[in-house]
């Protein structure tokens, strides 16, 4: 397949303006005649649904939760970046663009990232107007903080609940359109297949999670904003319901999946405490602004942290990266924590943890200031661990958090299936091999509020949409295949629960395709995943029936897709014989243990095409060109 | 530790429900309440029984999906904590925990501990927003908001919409939830133009959804995982009263409620 990213020619600063002008417009009177399906109601999905509804399109928005307000964007803590330069500290659109391309280890598309930086300021304006209670100075102006490896203060925040507040803003805008009648909200419903008619995305097949009823929804365009796939690892910071099913079914209908092995490990999570553990809890990395990370200099030091004197502590990030210190990007911070623990310096019962210590900051700024900045996070830590972080250093360990990979999209956010658009974390586009902190919220909202309203209009105005009814063979085929799969899962009645398979799959994926990868390990993992998948389809036990609320059945379908995705992730990681960003292949590192890119051979987006149930997926490469930010070895020394 | 979970089991809204007791022999004090239910469900599945249906998603206390009543208290005994972050160390070895769904007429039961909370979405739909479309916003700093007001607004905006306030209220009132949104938006300069219309519409919808009236008991704020202060109800009442005097002629029509009044 030939990939055309549709990047406008000419200077990057004018690309988006030019693209917008070149796009066709839908006559205002005709907008209500076009129907659009949006799957997902997080930042990208809610923002897109609301904005398209405002324009007058006929929108249907789906989510699997009981309310659109529950989408997992809500859990983002730290903040949202924008090139506003309110602090007068040297920020600019170009700098945000530069930092994002460099932070992504030169595996993102320049034009997309530039557009993201250009739009970032408008997002803040929009959210303020919606009533998002951002943090303020006494004089009433918006306040900023430095975040996640940035040397300028470009992050806007609402305490430690920025994602919640931004999502509520988008949710309220969505509810306003629901009230106006332009958006129909369909909660507690899961998309189980994409309907492709004559090569175009024309609808979806859904299952109601309450009644088990299957339905067909036809539209002129389908927008997926269904989030990332971190839950392939079972233990992640994602919500329990987050899944890859919508994206995966689209992949199996012909949409290419790009860079699946680019996953992000977040350095500051609460360590695992037992086998029953169901998820990992993130502590915002804003904590690294004031907290200092250390381990004891002596391996396996049994003393409690407060009894270890200063000169017997190793502040390893400050030691190794004097200019960035504790604020190095996520992948670097995570890998160093793992290395320390692997060498035996880890702390806590399991030895899988490092200290994050606020005592210096409390001495310098006072407990009150620290409480004001991080109060809710530190309270949450105390609730979970029963330890007081104002007195005892916190224990943290990296956990899987975000997936940069996703469905391949062009500059207009359209996948390789015409009429199928992909927004937010579900697409692959803007973060390369590593996402910078406070950039996910920015991308979700940029895609939803400011990009898709233009590009989907262009698609609708450029094409004709013959009526598709339910008797269409493509519709019937999708409908039947969905039903067959559900019936099959219910009929196995084996001896193992869905969760037990998911845990085992997660462990394999984490061990071999997690923070560090090797060719040998990945090959081993592919074999293990295939064997386990085979067992799954023979031996899984899904209790109950398909005609009422059945959480096990929901999970069973999602885990079935995770099996296939996990294999593709390993194939992709095996193909990429280099280390970049979150993808760390142990064979490819610099003498001092940093990621070693191979720009000559791997400066491309790896887009995978489904080739059938037992066939190897086909790789198409989209070469990456860097005209503005010259690829260099990232250095945070 | 050992525990007995006495759980409300009800197949759906049409059939009768009852309590069923389950003995748990090996509960780790570090587990969350929901992880304890996960463990129970795994055993139930392997025994060929139907697992307990309970709602949950983020499991870090922010999405508002989870929630049930433990020994008579919504979200259980810990202050400012949802059941997903409630660890078992807060219970005594050998204790019996009674788990019930939110009980309120406006929240029809779906299954076991899961209820339908769409009525809360309807209240937001009725007016819980600032009417600004994408693209209409002025520069962020063109609207100055003093720190104190921003902080108060944020205190109210922290609501996660879990419905514990309704479950805890003897009248099953949604006043804390509604008041929180009216306060969050109404005290900000951006929300000022629609302040009265918003209060009227949201309160009308709240009433249409068969939530009870507020009689200032304060159980709601006591169980609220985000500690939304009772003052938000006072703000709501004040806005509603002022608006009712001024806009008597244009009372809003609520959207069709989840539960129709008999």
- Segment A155-160 mean pLDDT: 92
Closest chain A residue by Cα to residue B198: A176
Mean pLDDT of A465-476: 96
Going through A35-96 in order, the beta strands assigned E by DSSP cover 35-39, 58-62, 80-81
Judging contacts by C-beta atoms under 8 Å, the chain A residues touching residue B120 are 67
Which range is least confidently modeled, A612-626, B61-75, B240-254? B240-254
Q: What is the mean pLDDT of residues A617-626?
A: 97
Res A149 pLDDT > 70: no
- The domain locations on chain B are 3-111, 118-250
Check pLDDT > 90 for residue A156: yes
Task: Please check the confidence at residue B6 and state whether its pLDDT lies above 70.
Answer: yes
C-alpha to C-alpha distance for A195 and A203, rounded to whole angstroms: 5
- Of the candidates A135, A136, A239, the beta carbon closest to that of B58 is on A239
Q: Is the pLDDT of residue A450 over 80?
A: yes
CATH number of B3-111: 3.10.20.30
Would you give the distance in Å from CA B164 to the centre of its chain?
Answer: 4
- Report the mean per-residue pLDDT for chain A: 95
Catalytic residue list contains A330: yes
Å between A475 CA and nearest CA of chain B: 31
Question: What's the whole-number mean pLDDT along residues A523-538?
Answer: 98
Percent of residues, chain A, with pLDDT higher than 70: 100
Chain B CB contacts of A156 under 8 Å are 140
CA of A243 to nearest chain B CA: how many angstroms apart? 12
The larger pLDDT score, comparing residue A44 to residue A594, is at: A44
Q: How many CB atoms lie within 10 A of CB A301?
A: 16
Length of chain A: 637
Q: How confident is the model at residue B29 (pLDDT cuts 50, 70, 90)?
A: very high
Convert the pLDDT of each residue in B224-259 to its tens digit: 999 999 999 999 999 999 999 888 777 788 889 999
Given CB atoms, is B43 within the 8 Å cutoff of chain A? no
Predicted pLDDT at B104: 97
Does A543 contact B50 at a Cβ distance shorter than 8 Å? yes
Percent of the residues in chain A that have a pLDDT greater than 90, as a whole number? 89
Query: Are A419 and A283 a contacting pair, CB within 8 Å?
Result: no
Instruction: Determine whether A464 is exposed, middle or buried from the number of CB atoms within 10 Å of its CB (0-12, 13-18, 19+).
Output: exposed
Any bridge partners for residue A355, and if so which?
A294, A395
Domains of chain A: 267-400 (3.90.700.10), 473-623 (1.20.58.100)
Q: Is the pLDDT of residue A636 over 80?
A: no
Residue B97 has pLDDT above 70, yes or no: yes
Q: What is the pLDDT of residues A259-294, one digit of tens each?
A: 999 999 999 999 998 889 999 998 888 889 899 999
Beta carbons of B153 and A131 less than 8 Å apart: yes
Pinpoint the alpha helices (H) of B81-230: 118-125, 147-157, 164-168, 175-186, 195-208, 219-223
In chain B, which residues have their Cβ closer than 8 Å to the Cβ of A210? Answer: 110
User: What integer pLDDT is reported at residue A283 of this predicted model?
Assistant: 87
The residue of A276, A385, A545 whose CB has the most chain B CBs within 10 angstroms, and thus the best one to mutate to test that interface, is A276
Say whether B62 and A282 touch across the interface (CB within 8 A).
no
d(C-alpha B214, C-alpha B207), whole Å: 11
B182: pLDDT strictly greater than 80: yes
Query: What pTM was estimated for this model as a whole?
Result: 0.97
Query: What is the number of helices (H) and of strands (E) in chain B?
Result: 8, 7
- Which pLDDT belongs to residue B262? 61
In chain B, the residue whose alpha carbon lies closest to the alpha carbon of A493 is B48
B118-250: CATH architecture: Orthogonal Bundle (1.10)
Q: Residue B128 and residue A172: Cβ atoms within 8 Å?
A: yes
* Span A313-359, pLDDT tens digits: 999 999 999 988 998 888 889 999 989 999 999 999 889 999 999 99
What confidence score (pLDDT) does residue A285 get?
82
Q: What's the helix, strand, coil split of chain A in %, to 5?
A: 40, 15, 40
pLDDT single digits (tens) A349-399: 889 999 999 999 999 999 999 998 888 889 889 988 999 999 999 999 999
Nearest CA-CA partner of A247 in A478, A382, A423, A99? A423
Binary contact (B89, A165; C-beta < 8 A) = no
Q: Per-residue pLDDT tens for A559-591? A: 999 999 999 999 999 999 999 999 999 999 998
* B residues 203-232 closer than 8 Å to A (CB): none
Residue A383 contacts B where some CB pair is shorter than 8 Å: yes
CB contact under 8 A, B60 and A128: no
Distance CA A38, CA A422 (A): 10
Residue A614 is predicted with a pLDDT of 87
A180 touches chain B (CB under 8 A): no
Contact A66 B141 (CB under 8 A): no
A273 touches chain B (CB under 8 A): yes
Model ipTM value: 0.97
């Amino acid at each position: 397949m030939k990939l055309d990213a549709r990047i406008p020619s000419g200077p990057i600063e004018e690309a988006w303006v030019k693209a917008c002008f070149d796009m066709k417009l839908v006559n205002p009177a005709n907008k209500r005649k076009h129907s659009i399906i949006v799957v997902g109601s997080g930042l990208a999905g809610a923002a897109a649904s609301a904005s398209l509804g405002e324009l007058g399109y006929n929108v249907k928005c789906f989510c699997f939760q009981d309310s659109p307000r529950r989408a997992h964007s809500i859990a983002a803590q730290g903040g949202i970046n924008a090139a506003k330069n309110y602090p007068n500290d040297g920020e600019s659109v170009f700098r945000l663009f530069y930092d994002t391309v460099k932070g992504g280890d030169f595996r993102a598309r320049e034009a997309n990232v530039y557009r993201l930086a250009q739009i970032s300021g408008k997002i803040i304006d929009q959210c303020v107007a919606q009533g998002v209670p951002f943090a303020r100075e006494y004089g009433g102006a918006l306040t900023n903080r430095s975040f996640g490896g940035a040397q300028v203060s470009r992050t806007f925040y609402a305490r430690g609940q920025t994602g919640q507040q931004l999502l509520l803003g988008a949710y309220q805008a969505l509810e306003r359109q629901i009230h106006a009648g332009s958006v129909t909200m369909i909660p507690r419903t899961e998309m189980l297949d994409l309907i492709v008619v004559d090569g175009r995305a024309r609808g979806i097949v859904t299952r109601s999670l309450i009644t088990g009823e299957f339905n067909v929804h036809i539209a002129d365009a389908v927008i997926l904003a269904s989030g990332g796939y971190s839950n392939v690892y079972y233990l992640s910071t994602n919500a329990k319901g987050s899944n890859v099913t919508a994206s995966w079914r689209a992949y199996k209908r012909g949409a290419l999946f790009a860079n699946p092995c680019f996953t992000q490990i977040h350095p500051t999570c609460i360590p695992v405490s037992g086998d029953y553990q169901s998820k990992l809890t993130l502590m915002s990395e804003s904590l690294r602004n004031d907290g200092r990370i250390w381990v004891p200099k002596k391996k396996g030091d049994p003393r409690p942290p407060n009894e270890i004197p200063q000169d017997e502590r190793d502040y390893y990030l400050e030691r190794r990266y004097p200019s960035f210190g504790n604020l190095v990007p996520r992948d670097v911070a995570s890998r160093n924590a793992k290395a320390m623990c692997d060498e035996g310096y880890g702390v806590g019962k399991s030895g899988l943890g490092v200290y994050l210590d606020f005592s210096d900051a409390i001495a310098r700024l006072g407990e009150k200031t620290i409480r004001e900045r991080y109060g809710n996070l530190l309270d949450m830590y105390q609730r979970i661990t029963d330890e007081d972080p104002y007195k005892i250093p916190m224990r943290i360990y990296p956990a899987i958090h975000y997936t940069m990979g996703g469905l391949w999209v062009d500059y207009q956010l359209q996948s390789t299936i015409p009429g199928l658009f992909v927004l937010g974390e579900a697409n692959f586009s803007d973060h390369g091999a590593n996402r910078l902190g406070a950039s996910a919220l920015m991308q979700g909202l940029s895609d939803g509020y400011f990009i898709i309203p233009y590009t989907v209009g262009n698609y609708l105005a450029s094409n004709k949409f013959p009526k598709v009814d339910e008797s269409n063979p493509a519709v019937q085929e999708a409908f039947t295949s969905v039903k067959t799969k559900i019936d099959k899962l219910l009929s196995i009645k084996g001896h193992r629960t869905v969760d037990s398979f998911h845990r085992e799959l997660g462990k394999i994926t984490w061990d071999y395709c997690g923070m560090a990868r090797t060719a040998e390990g990945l090959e081993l993992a592919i074999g293990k995943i295939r064997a386990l998948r085979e067992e799954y389809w023979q031996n899984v036990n899904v209790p109950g029936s398909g005609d009422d609320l059945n959480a096990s059945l929901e999970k069973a379908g999602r885990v079935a897709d995770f099996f296939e995705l996990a294999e593709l992730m390993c194939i992709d990681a095996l193909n990429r014989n280099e280390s970049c960003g979150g993808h760390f292949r142990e064979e490819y590192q610099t003498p001092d243990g940093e990621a070693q890119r191979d720009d000559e051979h791997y400066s491309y987006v790896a887009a995978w095409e489904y080739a059938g149930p037992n066939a190897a997926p086909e790789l198409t490469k989209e070469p990456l060109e860097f005209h503005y930010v010259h690829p260099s070895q990232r250095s945070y020394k | 530790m050992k525990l007995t979970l006495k759980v409300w089991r009800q197949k759906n809204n049409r059939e009768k429900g009852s309590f069923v007791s389950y003995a748990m022999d090996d509960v780790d004090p570090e587990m969350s309440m929901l992880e304890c239910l996960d463990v129970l469900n795994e055993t139930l599945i392997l025994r060929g029984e139907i697992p307990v249906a309970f709602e949950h998603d983020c499991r870090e206390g922010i999405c508002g999906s989870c929630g049930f009543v433990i020994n008579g208290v919504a979200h259980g005994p810990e202050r400012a904590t949802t059941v997903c972050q409630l660890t078992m160390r807060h219970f005594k070895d050998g204790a019996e925990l009674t788990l019930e769904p939110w009980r309120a007429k406006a929240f029809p039961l779906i299954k076991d501990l899961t209820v339908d909370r769409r009525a809360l979405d309807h209240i937001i739909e009725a007016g819980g927003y600032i009417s600004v479309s994408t693209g209409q916003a002025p520069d962020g700093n063109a609207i100055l908001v003093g720190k104190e007001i921003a902080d108060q607004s944020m205190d109210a905006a922290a609501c996660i919409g879990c419905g514990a306030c309704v479950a805890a209220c003897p009248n099953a009132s949604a006043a804390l939830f509604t008041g929180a949104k009216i306060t969050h938006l109404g005290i900000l300069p951006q929300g000022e133009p629609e302040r009265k219309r918003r209060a009227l519409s949201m309160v009308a919808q709240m009433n249409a959804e068969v939530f009870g009236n507020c009689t200032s008991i304060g159980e709601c704020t006591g169980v609220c995982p985000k500690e939304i202060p009772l003052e938000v109800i006072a703000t709501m009442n004040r806005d509603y009263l002022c608006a009712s005097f001024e806009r008597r002629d244009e009372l809003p029509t609520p959207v069709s409620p989840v539960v129709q009044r008999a």
